[in-house]
């Protein structure tokens, strides 16, 4: 069975209004939660911050640069550079002026062995679809209400 170095990767973007007190683009407790997400089911590969200036121009900053400037927690990034700047800008498109987004690339580590086994057997991973948490929770609530 072939084991790949990485399983499927998901990009997630989390948007925030500027904090008037700390002026940090991303709340420290959110960074801490992202860091805790790395375990046997997911691995945090890369992260950046997209900021939008007052004129609406977006700029990508490496996480480490923002971390040092604002005293945010360190992140253990397993594959810096796996996330493209264009992807980060696309995910953060439409942010209002002054807002920022933390863009994180997570490997679906639990799928690494499965995808290798499928390919070793002559198959291929046909789809890996993400359903946003808000949608899943809404559907679950509707199902509970009907039950």
Alpha-carbon distance of 96 to 78, in angstroms, equals 31
SS3 91: helix
The predicted-structure confidence for 26-47, as pLDDT tens digits, reads as follows 888 888 888 877 666 888 999 9
Alpha-carbon distance of 147 to 133, in angstroms, equals 21
The predicted-structure confidence for 123-137, as pLDDT tens digits, reads as follows 887 777 777 788 888
Q: What is the pLDDT along the chain (147 residues), one digit of tens a residue?
A: 566 677 788 899 999 998 777 778 888 888 888 887 766 688 899 999 999 999 999 999 999 999 999 889 999 999 998 889 999 999 999 999 999 999 999 988 878 788 888 888 888 877 777 777 888 888 888 888 876
Please give the span between the terminal C-alpha atoms of the chain, in angstroms, as a whole number.
Answer: 43
pTM reported for the whole predicted model: 0.80
Q: Which two tokens stand for residue 113?
A: 């062995």
């Amino acid at each position: 069975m072939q084991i790949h170095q990485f399983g499927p990767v998901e990009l997630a973007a989390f948007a925030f209004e500027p904090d008037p007190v700390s002026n940090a683009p991303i709340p420290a407790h959110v960074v801490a939660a992202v860091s805790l997400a790395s375990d046997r089911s997911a691995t945090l590969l890369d992260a950046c911050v997209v900021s939008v200036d007052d004129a609406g121009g977006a700029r990508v900053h490496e996480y480490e640069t923002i971390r040092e400037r604002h005293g945010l927690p360190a992140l253990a990034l397993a594959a810096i550079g796996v996330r493209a700047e264009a992807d980060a800008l696309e995910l953060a498109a439409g942010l209002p002026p002054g807002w920022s987004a933390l863009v994180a690339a997570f490997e679906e580590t639990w799928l690494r062995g499965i995808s290798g086994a499928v390919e070793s057997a002559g198959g291929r991973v046909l789809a890996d679809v993400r359903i946003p948490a808000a949608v899943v929770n809404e559907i679950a609530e509707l199902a509970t209400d009907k039950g």
